[in-house]
Amino acid sequence: MMTETKLKFCGTPVTGEELALIKEMAEEFWGISRTELAETLCELLEWKRPNGRLKGVECRQFLEELESRSVIRLPKPRRGKPKGTHAKAGRSAQGEALEPIQGSVKDIGPVILVRAETRQDRELWKELIDRYHYLGFKTPFGASLRYLIRTLGAEPQTLGCLQFSSPAWSLEPRDEWIGWDATTRKARLQLIVQNSRFLLLPWVEVKRLASHVLSKASKQLPLDWELAFKRRPVLLETFVDQARFSGTCYRAANWIHVGETKGRGRMDRQKHHQEPVRSIWVYPLARKFRAALLGES
């Protein structure tokens, strides 16, 4: 049973479960900005306008009201571009297409995942994604980690990019596969991390590289995420656009196909926005992942 508080957001009572999630997010994701936190909560709680846009400004004001009442503690305000917005990515010689890189994983030497932490690496990551990924560069909601896929050696080569970010709020096939009800999902959702971008550069033609990278990421990501955000994930998820890809590399890396999105999109005042049907894949990161997601461990 949902319990109501005396608080209201845009005239609607805030439930005890919603307030608990707000407190948890504010505590767990201290490293993200106020705007990022507000946008993430709007996604999780589905605080949206009739046209589908998030009530980010109102949510941030609500969070600041909660802070003034000593209900939560927020990070200091900082300037920056709101998450979830399309952003410009520069162009440089580093991002230009190169001669084909061919062969097998053994031929190109050890492959490593490098956190895009320096300014140079961050800018290169953005440029490559914007140039060569069909979705382009878009600042993600909530927490995220980005990696450049590189070879290890005297003259390292950049092979592609990865991004991991906050999970989807509600996915019926995923939630049924886990065994979640709405209350448990709210409480345990942040144990899932989404692989929201995966790019191998168009000139990279290395056999089985994609599944090799996914395997390495599944081993490296849990500790990196825990160090960055103080919570160790137990499950990865991703979407694969069925009109473009078959998901072969995820299957080869032992990811599990759990269903498809409905592809219905949202309704706004002018027209219906049809979204592509995407297959949903997950990858357990811990032996007792389901017990953790159900709160049984």
Nearest to 173 by CA among 282, 292, 45: 282
pLDDT at 173 over 60: yes
Residue 81 has what pLDDT?
A: 52
pLDDT above 60: residue 289: yes
List, in sequence order, every residue forming a beta bridge with 148; answer none if it has no partner.
Answer: 114, 161
pLDDT of amino acid 248: 94
Question: Helix, strand or coil for residue 68?
Answer: helix
Sign of CA dihedral 243, 249, 250, 252: positive
Q: What is the pLDDT of residue 123?
A: 93
| Nearest by Cα to 218 from 233, 197, 239, 201 | 233
pLDDT given at position 276:
82
- pTM (predicted TM-score): 0.72
Residue 267: the pLDDT is: 34
The DSSP H or E segment spanning 144 is strand 144-151
The mean pLDDT value for 140-151 works out to 88
Has residue 2 got a pLDDT over 60? no
Measured between alpha carbons, how far is 101 from 107 in angstroms, rounded to an integer?
10
The pLDDT tens digits for 75-85 are 777 655 554 44
The overall longest dimension of the chain from CA atoms, in Å, is 64
User: What pLDDT digit, counting tens, does each position of 174-200 carry?
Assistant: 999 999 998 899 888 889 999 999 999
pLDDT in tens, 25-34: 888 776 778 8
Helix or strand (DSSP H, E) at 229: helix 209-229
User: What is d(CA 206, CA 52) in angstroms, rounded to the nearest whole number?
Assistant: 41
- For the chain, give every domain's residue range: 4-68, 97-293
pLDDT at position 177:
97
Q: What is the pLDDT of residues 35-77, one digit of tens each?
A: 888 888 888 888 887 767 788 888 998 999 999 989 998 877 7
Q: Which CATH architecture has domain 97-293?
A: 3-Layer(aba) Sandwich (3.40)
- Burial category of 117 from C-beta neighbours within 10 Å (exposed 0-12, middle 13-18, buried 19 and up): exposed
pLDDT computed for residue 170 by the predictor: 83
Tens of pLDDT, residue by residue over 3-25, are 667 888 888 889 888 898 899 88
- In the prediction, which pLDDT does 154 show? 77
Instruction: Give the residue with greater pLDDT, 86 vs 280.
Output: 280
pLDDT tens digits along 216-274: 999 999 999 999 888 899 999 999 998 888 899 999 999 999 999 876 543 333 444 46
Q: What are 38's two structure tokens?
A: 């507000």
Question: pLDDT: is 109 or 283 the higher one?
Answer: 283
Radius of gyration of the chain (CA): 20
d(CA 218, CA 271): 40
Amino acid at 244: R
